[in-house]
Amino acid sequence: MEKYGETLFVRDDREAHRLEVLCEVFDPLTTSALERLGVGPGSRCLEVGAGNGSIARWMAQRAVDGEVVATDIDASVLDGLRDDRVTALRHDVTRDGFPDGSFDVIHARLVLSHLPQRDEVLRRMRTWLAPGGVVLIESFCWFPIDSSPHPVYRQALRRWSDLVRQTLGTDSWWARSHPASFTRFGFRDVGANTVTHNLRGGTPLADFWRLTISMSHEQLVRRGYLSAAELNAAYRLLEDPDFWDLSPALVQAWGHR
């Protein structure tokens, strides 16, 4: 297995654009959940896998007189996170820790599903919380793709999922049952919410999935997952405003210490 960012999800201009589109589509869901869970004045917050920093900056606006720590394993991401209210920290969540009780809120979006050590990381996160603190984990789940009536779309996303699973250890179905992990590791007041978007070609959501597949175009073709013709057919479909389907679902799960 290789690490996130070595040959997949490489930090370049294309990935920066993909992250911008991701934030446009999914930030409203994330911030709504964090607001309900209690990010507010005085909160000590940890953003794991900060991406382009949009959620860390939102936390800083809400947590007046609190603290926001944004982490990533890629130092180049942290260089781009310039905000006096946010402490950027290079940190490998699979190996590095924090003192017991350091935070009131911990959030990770589209991080743990890519980690073979995902359950162990979640177990350790509980110790980083102060009593009453909350962890929110967001991950995609692939079940809407399995029932798609569009073979080109279904095959492209399935084969992309196969690539990231076999390269990184990603589990695109873990989110379906990961709320049970919160219960198993002693969290209380566990809850979950699943959002399945209707996807229309040519919209920001469709563009996000087109960019996600296309960033792995070379690996998908070279390693025999899909042909260039099959990929180009999928790109055309995702750009076609007459195309409608469901996107992979976003599962939000949370638990308190």
For residue 7, tell me if it sits in a domain.
Answer: no
Cα distance between residue 66 and residue 58, in whole Å: 13
For residue 50, tell me if it sits in a domain.
Answer: yes
For residue 1, tell me if it sits in a domain.
Answer: no
Which long-range CB contacts under 8 A does 200-203 form with residues at least 24 apart? 200/241, 200/243, 200/244, 201/237, 201/238, 201/239, 201/240, 201/241, 201/242, 201/243, 201/244, 202/238, 202/239, 202/240, 202/241, 203/241
For residue 83, tell me if it sits in a domain.
Answer: yes
> Averaged over 68-74, what is the pLDDT?
90
For residue 2, tell me if it sits in a domain.
Answer: no
Tell me the pairing of strands 198-200 and 244-246: antiparallel
Q: How far is CA 184 from the centre of its chain?
A: 22
The domain tally of the chain equals 1
For residue 6, tell me if it sits in a domain.
Answer: no
pLDDT tens digit string along 190-199?
A: 999 999 999 9
Question: For residues 181 and 115, is the Cβ–Cβ distance under 8 A?
Answer: no
Task: Tell me the residue range of the domain where 183 lies.
Answer: 13-256
pLDDT tens digit string along 5-18?
A: 788 888 888 988 99
pLDDT tens digit string along 204-226?
A: 999 999 999 999 999 999 999 99
| Longest Cα separation, the chain | 54
CATH number at residue 157: 3.40.50.150
What pLDDT does 71 receive? 93
For residue 8, tell me if it sits in a domain.
Answer: no
For residue 5, tell me if it sits in a domain.
Answer: no
pLDDT tens digit string along 86-120?
A: 998 999 999 999 999 999 999 999 999 999 999 99
